[in-house]
Amino acid sequence: YVQLVPSPAEHAVRRYVLLDLIGDTLTQLEANRKDCARYLMQVSWLCNEDVCSVMATAQHPEDVDPETALVFEYLVAEALFTHLLQLPESASREMYYASLAIELRKAEPKIMARVLETAVDGIVARAAMLDVECINRLSNWLAVYVSNFAFQWDWARWEAVVQEPEAAPRRSFVRETLLKLVRLSYLDRIKAHVPESCLALLPAKAPGHNFKFTVQAMDERTREVSVALGRCLKSKGTVDQALEILQTHYSQWTDVDDDERQALAREMLVEHVLLLGSKTFSHMLNAIEKFLPALQQFGDAPEAKLQIARTVEDFWLRNPQFCAITIDKLVNYRVIDPVTVVEMLFDPAHAGRWSDFHLWEILRNTITKVNMRVVQLQTRLKTARAVAAVAVLIDAAEQPAAETAEHVEAILAQMEREQRDVVVVTARHFVRLLAATDGSDRAWLLGRFKEFMRTYRAQVAANAAELEGLISAAAASPDVRQVFDATLLLAA
């Protein structure tokens, strides 16, 4: 259990029992967080008066001293954060613990506000010792919590982090939480709530796109293509018209070979499609859907897909949220593959940037998506087979159903191959990078590697032999081997 405040040693057993009781309430009443909060505030009524102090009923809550007696409200906070930060997975979705904390504060405003503040302070003070995943979860939690109480939080208490190196755990935590708060509102709002001393942690400008073909940056012939294509898209031209423009212009570039021409055309099209859809996510989806045939045509080989992914990342360099969603949708529409995303994330250009949370977010979303697809297909296959079996009983001429089952089997096989690839390629990149990096970035990498192995341990175990070979071949350092062995044990 997380210990947030000192508690008298002689009450250790009592503390454990109470934490257990509170923890059970958290788990049992997960389906109704409002009633759970109410009940939690009443759990102390179940105990005799001398078991613990209850700030809510004390004459002078400020005088309640955790060193002399157990304090009920702190125990509630300890149980909540223990559950939230539990590894490998928390019992319920992270969001539950955020919305439950909000309900607790609503139930007992002054007291729980202070208790939760102290709790967060205490955990953040130990950020250097926390698992990377726990830092990430706490950051998510804090962003939701603060955004529900008018974005009020005393950031000044952490102003010392500005002196720390950029990749330091505490500084990264504060920075990433602020970025999440910006996503939940907007930059100027958060700037207004942050003291002068902490402004360095926020980006200078509001997130926007990074369109490559701005008028200043181009040579004459590139400008021609860009302007022509831009006009075509703006006047709602068809996909064929767009492709024709690209064809006519680039075929005149005699000094470059075919591959180079394709690459240039690919980049030009992707940049313009992204610009077309740069207003909102719905616009982006519409733009992708309209140009889907062209994008798929241009994404014919792994290198091509990688170029598309890199163009997207470049375009949305200053807006990681938009980048993540665009990549996500492109994977959904099968313009790029999950493996493409992995390759893009482990690009050498990201060296030293693994303290940014969004790299891991994209990786995790991609692998989870692949796993979910496999599960869905397996369910579909079961239904298809059941239908086919029934059809066989009723009427031997029921061919369509049997074909469906085979069809699903084929897709499932492909998905499972993708699943295998994603896990193996990711592991290979991690091992390679961990061997080549050191310093604080390595700490982040190792943390993410641990989380990757933990979360996807089922797939790791399924591909144990190949990963074993990978790790031995790379002569990986002992901590990497340790993580791998521990994962296999966990998965058993």
CB atoms near residue 408 (< 10 Å):
19
- Tell whether residue 190 is a contact of other proteins (CB under 8 A): no
Q: Where are the beta strands (DSSP E) in 337-401?
A: none
24 or 403: CB nearest other proteins: 24
Q: Which stretch binds other proteins (CB under 8 A): 176-184, 238-246, 417-425, 463-471?
A: 176-184
Q: Which of 363, 331, 361 is nearest to 345 (CA)?
A: 363
Which residue from 369, 380, 432, 481 is in contact with other proteins, where contact means CB under 8 A?
369
Amino acid identity, position 393: L
CA distance 137 to 135: 6
What is the per-residue burial (b if ≥16 Cβ within 10 Å, else e) of 304-314?
bbbbbbbbbbb
In the complex, the smallest distance separating the C-beta of residue 35 from other proteins, rounded to whole angstroms, is: 5
Which residue from 8, 21, 99, 409 is in contact with other proteins, where contact means CB under 8 A?
99
The site map against other proteins for 31-50 (x = CB under 8 A) is xxxxxx--x-----------
- Tell whether residue 210 is a contact of other proteins (CB under 8 A): no
Tokens matching residue 257: 């070979």
Largest CA distance in the chain: 89
- Tell whether residue 95 is a contact of other proteins (CB under 8 A): yes
CA distance 238 to 176: 41
Alpha helix (H) ranges present in 235-319?
239-250, 258-276, 281-290, 292-298, 302-315
Which residue from 137, 171, 180, 266 is in contact with other proteins, where contact means CB under 8 A?
180
* Total residues binding other proteins (CB under 8 A): 44
CB atoms near residue 327 (< 10 Å):
24
For residues 320-349, which are near other proteins according to CB under 8 A? 321-322, 325
CA distance 340 to 328: 11
Which residue from 1, 8, 21, 29 is in contact with other proteins, where contact means CB under 8 A?
29
Tokens matching residue 293: 């045939």
CA distance 432 to 474: 7
For residues 232-291, which are near other proteins according to CB under 8 A? 280-282, 285
For residues 122-151, which are near other proteins according to CB under 8 A? 140, 144, 147-148, 150-151
Q: Which stretch binds other proteins (CB under 8 A): 86-94, 227-235, 438-446, 472-480?
A: 86-94
In the complex, the smallest distance separating the C-beta of residue 30 from other proteins, rounded to whole angstroms, is: 6
The residues of the shown chain that bind other proteins, judged by CB under 8 A, are 27-36, 39, 89-96, 98-99, 102, 140, 144, 147-148, 150-151, 180, 183-185, 280-282, 285, 321-322, 325, 365, 368-369, 372, 376
